[in-house]
Amino acid sequence: MAEPDTPPVKHSNRKTLLVAFAVCLVCSLIVASAAVLLKPIQMANQSIERKRILVEIADLMKPGLTVAQAYQQVDIFMVELSSGLVTDAFDPEKFDITKAVKDVNLSIPLQRNEDPAQIRRKPKYLPVYRVNDSAGKLKTLILPVYGYGLWSTLYGFIALQEDMRTIQGLRFHQHAETPGLGGEVDNPRWLALWKGKIAFDDHWEPRIELIKGTVGTSTPDSHHKVDGLSGATLTTHGVTQLLNFWLGKEGFGPYLIRLREERERS
């Protein structure tokens, strides 16, 4: 018996390309829409995380308090870095460092030799967080700090006690260093080493050193030194550089001078 004739299958390159294009278009639309729709949620989560770190570093989280309640004790304002003057030209709660450094009116370029934190452009203004005691005197001053580690820019806060010299704490809220290596900047055991260290020398020059190995009581100038992270010398170096930069004259130096002068007058 003769086989029935089956019609030959037609392969059309045009059709294949059209289907592939349609699939790509639909997928990219889904991804783009998800990114746009999730952006406000991501921003809100980042803001909550920043606030949680701020209240923790200032030791404001007491039992029964929410982050929002504890955060009410934090005064936040904008400072012009070059003059150290407080300004109300911007809303500090809405200030975004990453946007500011892309704006030529809100940031200035740094030459290589003036950029140890490797940030390339320095914002002209930054927020400052202050917690006062019941008499209205400074209890904790929290400054935003950031700079390059090995793979990423580390964004964080350093908190200084009322003498503006002793470190209350250090925390990072954003970075992409390797977990287990540079990522150990988030390790609570390492972070605990910072409390009580002295951030400035006798002439108010920033002096923070991260050393290879362990700082012991017999280490000379141990109050300026913190253990480096083992296997993460490059991230450790970045942390040292960024802290000394932001506490120095190119960073919050002028503002800190003003605060010290204010305290001496009062």
Ligand X SMILES: Cc1cc2nc3c(=O)[nH]c(=O)nc-3n(C[C@H](O)[C@H](O)[C@H](O)COP(=O)(O)O)c2cc1C
**Member of 118, 174, 178, 219 binding ligand X (CB under 6 A):** 178
If one asks whether residue 239 binds ligand X (CB under 6 A), the answer comes out as: no
CA 254 to each of CA 81, 83, 137, 171, 259: distance values in angstroms, whole numbers, following the listed order: 7, 6, 20, 23, 9
Beta carbons of 116 and 241 less than 8 angstroms apart? yes
* Cβ neighbour number for residue 53 with a 10 Å cutoff: 20
Contacting range for ligand X; rule: CB under 6 A; set: 33-41, 56-64, 226-234, 258-266: 226-234
- Closer Cβ to ligand X, 54 or 229, answer by number: 229
DSSP code of residue 88: -
The residues near 87 (Cβ < 8 Å, ≥ 6 apart) are 78, 79, 80, 125
Which x/- pattern over 156-175 shows residues binding ligand X (rule: CB under 6 A)?
Answer: --------------------
Contacting range for ligand X; rule: CB under 6 A; set: 13-21, 178-186, 190-198, 242-250: 178-186
User: DSSP letter string over 184-210?
Assistant: GGG-HHHHGGGTT-B-B-TTS-B--EE
* Cβ neighbour number for residue 87 with a 10 Å cutoff: 13
**Member of 87, 231, 262, 263 binding ligand X (CB under 6 A):** 231
- Closer Cβ to ligand X, 54 or 150, answer by number: 150
Contacting range for ligand X; rule: CB under 6 A; set: 22-30, 112-120, 186-194, 224-232: 224-232
**Member of 123, 182, 251, 253 binding ligand X (CB under 6 A):** 182
Exposure on the CB side of residue 65, measured as CA atoms within 13 A: 15
**Member of 230, 261, 262, 263 binding ligand X (CB under 6 A):** 230
- Nearest-approach distance from CB 232 to ligand X, in angstroms: 3
Strands (E), the chain: 75-80, 85-87, 107-109, 121-123, 125-132, 138-148, 153-161, 167-174, 209-211, 225-227
Which x/- pattern over 106-145 shows residues binding ligand X (rule: CB under 6 A)?
Answer: ----------------------------------------
In 3D, which of 198, 190, 206 has the Cα closest to residue 241?
Answer: 206
**Member of 233, 249, 254, 260 binding ligand X (CB under 6 A):** 233
Task: Please report which helix (H) or strand (E) contains residue 40, including its range.
Answer: helix 13-57
Tokens representing residue 23 in the block = 């699939």
**Member of 81, 232, 239, 243 binding ligand X (CB under 6 A):** 232
**121 Ramachandran zone, left/alpha/beta (phi>0; psi -120 to 50):** beta
- Nearest-approach distance from CB 219 to ligand X, in angstroms: 18
If one asks whether residue 234 binds ligand X (CB under 6 A), the answer comes out as: yes
Contacting range for ligand X; rule: CB under 6 A; set: 24-32, 46-54, 64-72, 227-235: 227-235
- Nearest-approach distance from CB 195 to ligand X, in angstroms: 23
Interface residues with ligand X (CB under 6 A) are 150-151, 177-178, 181-182, 230-235
